[in-house]
Amino acid sequence: MGVVLPVLFALLAAFSNALATVLQRRAALTVPQSQGFRPGLVVDLLRRPVWLGGMLAVVVAGAGQAVALATGPLSLVQPLFVLELPLAMLLASLMTGRHLAPSLWLAVGGVVVGLGVALASAAPDAGRDDVPLDRWLPTLVACAGAAVLLAAAGLRRPVGKVRAGCLGAATAVCYALTAALMKDSMHVLDADGLTGFLTTWQTYGFAAAGVAAVLLLEHAMQGGPLVASQPALTLGDVAVSLMLGVVLYREEVRAGWWVLPQLLGVALIVAGVRTLARRGADLRETNRMPEATG
């Protein structure tokens, strides 16, 4: 089906998610912090208009991601979400009226170039559209188990890098699983229409995984600095999504000497993401600005 359509909608989703990150973190820093898992956190956030704006951006991102996954492979669409962090930093700088330092522009360029090199050299194929239940069951158990263990490990630690990193990684697993389930449900929608979409278990599976991801994300944002949570979230989402693409959808990437430029691209991405996350204080200050509406 080509790559233009899934790439365009994935970029739309990445931009919307970046906007949601800026707005949601701003809202998360205005509610009382908690040491444990607190479902009531979302109730507090519902009273913040800026958080509702962030959730609207999440809805737009979800729609864009659904179209991208319906038209392209998981291993192509999900890596494009690495661009969320550079976009979030750019949006944060616009909201504060502050200019990005040259080092940050260099990091943004590194992420973009690295992503282009990695995807061009990997050239992921479309794989298969349908996933049998015998491949879903162990995948669901493994992802759920990993998310629970990471979240439990994070919640046992005080506010800081370890807590934020563990919760960010748990969120990444849930986001990747959400995308994998969404792709399967989009296939059902295309094959069986709205009735099939509303009656297949994958639809409710990706909804549940998405809710868990949002709740974990809010705790990760409160759990510590962005330098710990954001790389774990961004890079973890890509890594788990690539594994799910291979395991579930039998997607393939080029091997042999093509691995070398892929590793170079990954190295540029990791270096850029770490540099951007290290400057997360700018994003934190953006979210502490007084709300413009009631």
Closest by CA to 90, choosing from 59, 60, 111, is 111
- Cβ contact 110:267 at 8 Å: no
Specify if 225 maps to a domain: yes
Q: How far is CA 112 from the centre of its chain?
A: 16
Q: Indicate the pLDDT class of residue 206, thresholds 50, 70 and 90.
A: very high
What pLDDT is attached to residue 41?
Answer: 56
> Six-digit token pair at 91?
């949006």
In the chain, the number of structural domains is: 1
Three-class DSSP category at 75: helix
Specify if 204 maps to a domain: yes
Neighbouring CB atoms inside 10 A of 152's CB total 12
Specify if 293 maps to a domain: no
Give 243-291 pLDDT, tens digit per residue.
Answer: 999 999 999 888 889 999 999 999 999 888 888 877 654 444 444 433 3
Average pLDDT, the chain: 83
Q: Which residues contact 125 (CB under 8 A, 6 or more apart)?
A: 73, 251, 252, 253
Cα dihedral 174→181→234→99 (10° resolution)? -110
Rounded average pLDDT over 33-61 = 67
Closest by CA to 77, choosing from 68, 64, 86, 85, is 68
Q: The whole model's pTM is what? A: 0.80
Specify if 31 maps to a domain: yes
pLDDT over 90 (residue 203): yes
Range of the domain at 149: 4-287
Residues 134 and 259: their CA atoms lie apart, in Å, by 30
Nearest-Å Rg of the Cα atoms of the chain is 18
What pLDDT is attached to residue 54?
Answer: 77
What pLDDT is attached to residue 288?
Answer: 43
Specify if 294 maps to a domain: no
Q: Indicate the pLDDT class of residue 31, thresholds 50, 70 and 90.
A: low
